[in-house]
Amino acid sequence: MSLRLEFVTLAQHEKANVAELCRRFGISRETGYKWLGRFREGGAQALWDRSRRPHTMPRRTAEPVCNQLLELRAAHPAWGPRKLRRRLQDLGVAGLPAPSTITTLLQSAGCIDSQASGQHRAYVRFERAAPNELWQMDFKGHFALSRGGRCHPLTVMDDHARYLLGLRACAQENDATVRAHLQDLFGRYGLPESLLCDNAPPWGGPGGEWTALGIWLVRLGVRVLHGRPYHPQTQGKEERFHRTLRAEVLSRNDLRDLAHSQEAFDLWQPIYNHERPHDSLKLATPASRYAPSARTLPTSLPPIEYGPDDLVRTVKAKGDLTWNNRTYYLGQGFARQPVALRPTATNGLHEVYFCHQRLGWIDLLQPPAKSKHHYLPLRKIRPSPRP
C-alpha cells in the first residue's frame, strides 16, 4: 500500500516519466495507469485491492431459493443436495441450482463438511419387480430410553418401493409382539408374496429351526425367506434403512419411553414415505411406487391342502417324521401337522413341503445318521436311524 501511494505521488509530478517509474517499481504501465486513475477518483483509500467478484452474476441462485434450501436442510439435516433439490421441485419451487451448486451452498453455510461429502458413495441394490412381491422385516438394534428400559424398533419395508409399512417401538422381541404387528399390517396393506427375515428369534430357532411364527406365516400363504447366517447384507435395504432411522430420528431426539418413541416414529414415517426423495428410486418418494396387495388377510387360517400325487405324512409330537423305515427331524413347530413328500427327477431324492413352502429334501440313498435325535438342518433334511 505504501509503495502504491509513493508511486502515484511521484507519477503526478509534472516532469514525471510514468513509463520509467513503472520500470523502477517493477510494474507494468497498465498497472501504473490503473493506480493513477484510482487515486484521482478516490484518493489513497482507492489504492486498496478490490474484490475480484463480478459486478453482476446472472446465474447466481436467487436469495429466496437459497433460504428455502437452508430451511429445508435445517428441518432434515441428514438429507443431501439431491434430496433437497427434488423435494423443493415437488413443492413447485423454480430456479433451483444443480446438486453440485447446492453442495457448495451448504458447505458455505457450514451445513456439511467438504471432506465427508467427498467420501459419500451411492449404493446399488437389487429389487423386486413389483410392490408386495417381497417385504423385509427386522428389529433394529435396541437402545436405552432416558426414563429407563429399552426400545426395540421393529421395521417392515416393501422391497420394490422402499415403502415403510411399519415402524413399531417394542418392549421386547418375541412371537406375540411380531405377530400382533404383522396382523395390523396385513389388515391394512394385504398379504405379501414373500417375507424376508433373519435367522434369530422369533423368526428362527436354534440352528435355523422353524418357529411357530414362521409356520403361521406359511399357513397364511406367505413364503418365508431367511437371510444367510452372519450375512446381514442379505437384508441390505433394512440395514440401510436402519442407518437412516438413526440419523434422522434416533440421533435427533431424546426418547423418554416407548410411548414417546412411538410418537416420534409416527411423525417421521409419513415424511419418509411421502416427502423424502429416495436415492435408489431416482429421487422419487416410496409412496409414488407403492400400492396395497390384492391378497387380503383371511379371518381364519385356511385348511392345509395338497395335490392328489403328493404323499402326505403327519409330523409326530416331537417334530419327527417317519417314512420308509427312517425318522427325520423337521422341528417341534410342525408337531401334528401334515407335510407332503414329492419325488424329484433325481433317483431317491424327495422334496418335503409344508403347504406351499419347501422345507428341504430327503435323500433315500444317503446313509442314516448315527443318532436318532441329532439336529438336522432344515434346508437339507437328512435321515436318522430307524427307532
b/e per residue 31-48 (b: at least 16 CB within 10 A)? ebeebbebbeeeeeeebe
- Between residues 275 and 2, the one the model is more confident about: 275
149/109 same-domain check? no
323/269 same-domain check? no
Domain span at 94: 63-118
Beta-ladder partners of 329: 320
172/69 same-domain check? no
pLDDT tens for 358-381 read: 888 888 777 665 544 433 333 445
Q: Is the peptide bond before 202 cis (omega within 30 degrees of 0)?
A: yes
**Residue closest to 136 by CA, chosen among 221, 57, 194:** 194
108/168 same-domain check? no
Domain assignment present for 56: no
pLDDT tens for 22-79 read: 888 888 989 888 888 888 888 887 777 767 666 555 556 677 888 888 888 888 888 8
Number of domains comprising the chain: 4
pLDDT tens for 199-225 read: 888 888 776 788 899 999 999 999 998
pLDDT tens for 135-191 read: 999 998 899 999 999 999 999 999 999 999 999 999 999 999 999 999 999 999 999
Residue 302: half-sphere exposure toward Cβ, Cα within 13 Å: 14
b/e per residue 187-209 (b: at least 16 CB within 10 A)? eebbbbebbbbbbeebbbbeebb
Backbone CA torsion sign across 228, 187, 215, 210: positive
pLDDT tens for 303-342 read: 999 999 899 999 999 888 888 878 888 888 899 999 999 9
